[in-house]
Amino acid sequence: MKTDTIILPIHPIHVNKILSGEKIYEYRKRIPLDIRYIVVYATAPIKKIVALIEIDMIIKGSPKIVWEKTQSHSGISNDFFRQYFSDNKNAYAIRFKSVLKLEKPMPLTCMDHPRAPQSYVYVDKSFNELKVLLKVL
């Protein structure tokens, strides 16, 4: 079932910057433009759901344009950004409206997902159901 919420795997280094407020953009080579919420899955070694994000907007453009618009709150270096998008004509920057940290990180199995997605996967629950299920702060 397609909804407006996805599970997005993010490396723990970037998750920490998101939770601290240093990073308000997440970059992707591909992302659906109709999503409103993200369930943040911190990849290894954490391997848990750690936050819910409400999306403010998604910026799409050439890597150069996207970097110019987002670099001040990117949480990454220009070199890292350029390397990530080195062979891509388009870049996507997901701007966060709000980040809700979970009271306690939870396994994906609590959402009936046996393993982490490679890029993203849609969630079949509403944002309000997720907030209750995941016990966000």
pLDDT digits (tens, 9 = 90+) for 9-60: 999 999 999 999 999 999 999 999 999 999 999 999 999 999 999 999 999 9
Its pTM stands at 0.92
Per-position b or e across 75-98, b if 16+ CB within 10 A of its CB = bbeeeebeeebeeeeebbbbbbee
CA dist 68 and 85 (Å) reads 14
Among 20-29, 99-108, 121-130, top mean pLDDT goes to: 20-29
| Token duo for residue 13 | 């280094």
